[in-house]
């Protein structure tokens, strides 16, 4: 589904990604793990075209997408949930969702996301600013699903959340996975990531230091200690 080959990305003169290579198979969940500053978010931003790589290659569903604009990639089927959530705080839950509903054909509609997130249905008339942090994350995920993506990019879906919301988001994303979604997940919560992902890539110093199955990473205490601080 997605192939990232030796990309190099910069912020000004700062060389952040130094040849990142990874793959995301269709209908699988892949986690990108690493310490703060390793380049995880920059990898997602490079894929979606917000921080275009200066070298390397990115192919999505067989097509080269280097240089494509974020809105064009969204139309092609890549949805991105940023760490900052990006919801409209002055709009209601339902207004946030109906803004994107129907933009791309597919199985996800308002009724289906409400079935997945009953808490959002209960709060559909509440403004975004009235939601808790966990509810805002759910809203951001639901809005991304309404774009009917072929590939879903999630940046830190549990960052800063109470354990009850972490559990609920894990349950909801596990259901999305069972329905055949393809997801690339950036996550600091090791337990959350390894309970959801099929494969993992460990990023450090702007390079993929390790790749393999989730089971292999769980059994690799040395890799966890060296690059994840687990």
Domains along the chain with CATH numbers = 2-228 (3.40.50.300)
Name the residue among 226, 159, 211, 223 with its Cα closest to residue 189: 159
Q: What angle do CA 172, 177, 182 make, to 5 degrees?
A: 125
Look over the chain and give the mean of its residue pLDDT values, rounded to a whole number: 95
pTM of the shown model: 0.95
Q: Quote the pLDDT of residue 47.
A: 98
pLDDT digits (tens, 9 = 90+) for 8-41: 999 999 999 999 999 999 999 999 999 999 999 9
Q: Residue 206: pLDDT above 80?
A: yes
Output the 3-class SS for 212-223: EEHHHHHCCHHH
Q: What angle do CA 222, 224, 225 make, to 5 degrees?
A: 65
Q: Residue 6: pLDDT above 70?
A: yes
CA distance 83 to 113: 20
CA distance 4 to 16: 15
pLDDT digits (tens, 9 = 90+) for 59-115: 999 999 999 999 999 999 999 999 887 888 899 999 999 999 888 999 999 999 999
What is the pLDDT averaged over residues 197-204?
97
Q: Quote the pLDDT of residue 124.
A: 96
Q: Quote the pLDDT of residue 102.
A: 83
The fraction of the chain above a pLDDT of 70, given in percent, is 100
């Amino acid at each position: 589904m997605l192939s990232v080959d030796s990309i190099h990305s910069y912020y000004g003169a700062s060389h952040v990604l130094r040849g990142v290579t990874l793959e995301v198979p269709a209908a699988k969940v892949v986690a990108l793990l690493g310490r703060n500053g390793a380049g995880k978010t920059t990898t997602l931003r490079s894929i979606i075209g917000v921080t275009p790589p200066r070298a390397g290659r990115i192919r999505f569903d067989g097509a080269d997408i280097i240089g494509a604009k974020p809105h064009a990639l969204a139309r092609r089927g890549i949805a991105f949930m940023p760490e900052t959530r990006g919801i409209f705080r002055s709009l209601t839950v339902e207004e946030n969702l109906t803004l994107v509903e129907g933009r791309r054909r597919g199985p996800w509609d308002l009724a289906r996301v409400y079935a997945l997130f009953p808490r959002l249905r209960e709060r559909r008339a509440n403004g975004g600013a009235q939601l808790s942090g966990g509810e805002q994350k759910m809203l951001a995920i639901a809005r991304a699903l309404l774009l009917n993506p072929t590939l879903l990019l999630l940046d830190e879906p549990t960052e800063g959340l109470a354990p009850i919301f972490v559990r609920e988001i894990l349950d909801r994303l596990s259901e999305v996975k069972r329905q055949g979604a393809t997801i690339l997940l950036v996550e600091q919560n090791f337990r959350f990531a390894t309970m959801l992902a099929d494969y993992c890539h460990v990023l450090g110093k702007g390079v993929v230091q390790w790749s393999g199955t989730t089971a292999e990473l769980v059994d690799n205490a040395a890799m966890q200690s060296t690059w994840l601080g687990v």
